[in-house]
Amino acid sequence: MVVEIAEDGTGSQSALRRANERHLLDTLRETGPISQASLARRAGLSRSAVNGIIRSLEIDGLVQVRPGATGRETEVTLAGARGALIAIDLGHRRMHGSVISFDDDLRLDEVVDLGREHEAQSDVSTVAALVDRLLEGSGVGRDAIVRVCVGLHAPYETPSRTISPSGILPGWEGLDVERVLSERLGMSVEVDNDANFAALAEWTWGAGRGARDFLYVKSSNGIGSGLIINSQVYRGSTGMAGELGHVVVDDRGALCNCGNRGCLSAVASGRALLLELAASGNPRESLQDVIADARAGDLACRRLLGEAGRYIGIGLSHAVKLIAPATIAFGGELAAAGALIFDSVRRELESSSLQTISRMPRLEQGMRRGDMCILGCVASVLASQGHGMSELPSWMLTPKGHRVAEYA
């Protein structure tokens, strides 16, 4: 509980007030829109103290006060930021770009196919051209861009600002990604692993909301994860904490592109499932086809999803023993399989984890969207500016130019 502002001259009133302001803003990020009376109870402060602070935050443009649902009580919500940002989700075969203008309530997206091979110079040119098209198409000026955020589908070393030599995005290995992109674009650039951005989005607006310690798992063509510890993205000393996809779960399993055998990504990702079906002479075009056929009763597809869930449960049990998250959210295309995979994940997680008197972590399905990295870029920029959005507005969820995949 935060101590209220001292009225008797003891201590620093300004410092206490700033602490109370931060506490109220953090509480609003956890709860979403909330009445001032409920906010006071959640924050452990008196109504009078909360009313005074909210008035000040409203003047500063950090919160909005509006009529509540019943009309009898006002509701407080975080105010959005000003300006605009560009988010780039740089994957193995495609690049998803988005310009988001808070001033204009506008989001414009474009997706570019990259092909199978990556060469850094060519990719940088593709990023620059995409940024130019997004700005031209949206009418947003370059001077309005607060930051360009780039999420990489590869292990990213924060201290050196380089991609780890893992065989993923090999054309980028050894390059200072942030410096190269900043110089080419002439803008401030933030680079991180795409799963870290996705975890931040899920923690801000999804299943992880309100959890101090949270693990997000993204399972699509590969498997990645992001960690929130003490309400902060945790990257570790190298920036590569949370690489759940490269935890070995079967030392006799398939060879991973990182050089190890039996990594979680190599045996339980969408790509791994498609490779196994093709090798058995029963190929499928996409992970969505695998899930649809499993629902229709195909035994091979059902078995593969169950086995993938068991492997993921093993990997999660190791994570639970190490960090004991309060909530685990499972997102990405593979999570759309629902009970076909969740049942085996839960069984393995319960049987392989240490038993506790309190409880196991909550296992939840994440937001069923294909733009989690983009939304995480938004959350990152908002947090850096001290702003926030208690809820995602409809204009941000329905971009122009590209229909975002939603996993059924």
- The reply to whether 192 falls in a domain is yes
Nearest to 377 by CA among 399, 407, 362: 399
- Alpha-carbon distance of 4 to 375, in angstroms, equals 34
Domain count for the chain:
3
Residue 59 CB-density burial (10 A; 0-12 exposed, 13-18 middle, 19+ buried) = exposed
pLDDT of residue 8: 42
Query: For 224-249, b where at least 16 C-beta lie within 10 A, e where not — what string?
Result: bbbbbbeeebbbeeebbbbbbbbbbb
Question: Are residues 308 and 356 both part of a single domain?
Answer: yes
The mean pLDDT value for 135-153 works out to 95
219 and 293 share one domain: yes
**Both structure tokens of 405:** 């995949």
Residue 6 has pLDDT above 70, yes or no: no
The answer to whether residues 307 and 212 belong to one domain is yes
Residue 406 lies in a domain: no
Report which residue type is found at 207. A
Any idea what the CATH number is for the domain that residue 63 is in? 1.10.10.10
Q: Tell whether 7 is covered by a domain.
A: no
382 and 359, same domain (yes or no): no
pLDDT digits (tens, 9 = 90+) for 314-349: 999 999 989 999 999 999 999 999 999 999 999 998
Position 357 scores a pLDDT of 56
Is the same domain home to 176 and 298? no
Domain of residue 388 covers 84-197+370-397
Average confidence score pLDDT of the chain: 88
408 in a structural domain: no
Kindly state whether residue 5 falls inside one of the protein's structural domains.
Answer: no
Instruction: Tell me what pLDDT residue 23 has.
Output: 84
Report the percentage of the chain scoring pLDDT > 90: 56
Same domain, 213 and 323: yes
pLDDT tens digits for range 216-262? 999 988 899 999 999 899 999 988 898 899 999 998 999 988 889 99
Task: Show which of 22, 45, 78 is a domain's final residue.
Answer: 78
Residues 211 and 358 in one domain: yes
CA angle 370, 376, 379 (to 5 degrees): 140
C-alpha span between 160 and 171 (Å, rounded): 16
Question: Is the pLDDT assigned to residue 61 strictly greater than 80?
Answer: no
Q: Choose between 374 and 387: higher pLDDT.
A: 374
The residue from 78, 93, 118 where one domain ends is 78
Question: Do residues 92 and 221 make contact, with C-beta atoms less than 8 angstroms apart?
Answer: yes
Across 155-170, average pLDDT:
81
Residue 70 has pLDDT above 80, yes or no: no
Summarize the confidence of residues 386-393 as an average pLDDT. 80
